[in-house]
């Protein structure tokens, strides 16, 4: 039980001022949190790409393209970092685009908003 409380406290901390800035660490952590929610909702924790397709196909949720695009941006940084086309300026632009996407998702995606409110008491619109 204590470990669960620690994790909930850690997640809540990710929504405090220092962790809402567009640093690499912050955008990657928040993207991971959102990806985990999608996988849980789709009941498919093996592959995010499949999980997002399951939710899109169900037609229960709108605007999942923003979340899918966020994943693609994350993959550019995480999986393509050593490629020559990703110089420092390009990586910073992708990071900033991810931060902008996170704000849009936290402000408009009801699935994400409801999840954080129910599980953690977090209003994602404050991100």
The pLDDT tens digits of the residues spanning 40-74 come to 999 988 888 899 989 989 888 888 999 999 999 99
For residue 100, name the pLDDT band (cuts at 50, 70, 90).
very high
% the chain with pLDDT above 90: 61
Instruction: Kindly report the pTM of this predicted structure.
Output: 0.88
- Who's near 102: CB < 8 A, 6+ residues apart? 27, 30, 31, 34, 70, 127
* Tokens read off for 95: 């990071």
Rounded-to-integer distance, Cα 87 and Cα 91, Å: 6
Residue 4: the pLDDT is 58
pLDDT at 82 over 80: no
Rounded-to-integer distance, Cα 32 and Cα 37, Å: 9
* Tokens read off for 115: 């999840």
CB 103 within 8 A of CB 54: no
Place of tokens 């196909």: 57
Provide the mean pLDDT of the chain.
89
% the chain with pLDDT above 70: 97
Q: What are the domain boundaries of the chain?
A: 23-126
- Who's near 123: CB < 8 A, 6+ residues apart? 113, 116, 117
């Amino acid at each position: 039980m204590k470990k669960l409380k620690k994790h909930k406290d850690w997640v809540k901390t990710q929504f405090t001022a220092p962790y809402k800035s567009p640093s690499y660490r912050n955008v990657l952590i928040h993207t991971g949190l959102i990806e985990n929610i999608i996988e849980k909702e789709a009941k498919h924790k093996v592959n995010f790409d499949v999980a997002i397709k399951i939710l899109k196909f169900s037609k229960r949720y709108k605007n999942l393209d923003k979340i899918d695009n966020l994943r693609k941006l994350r993959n550019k940084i995480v999986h393509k970092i050593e490629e020559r086309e990703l110089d420092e300026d390009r990586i910073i632009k992708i990071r900033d685009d991810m931060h902008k996407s996170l704000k849009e998702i936290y402000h408009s995606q009801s699935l994400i908003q409801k999840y954080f409110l129910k599980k953690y008491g977090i209003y994602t619109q404050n991100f």
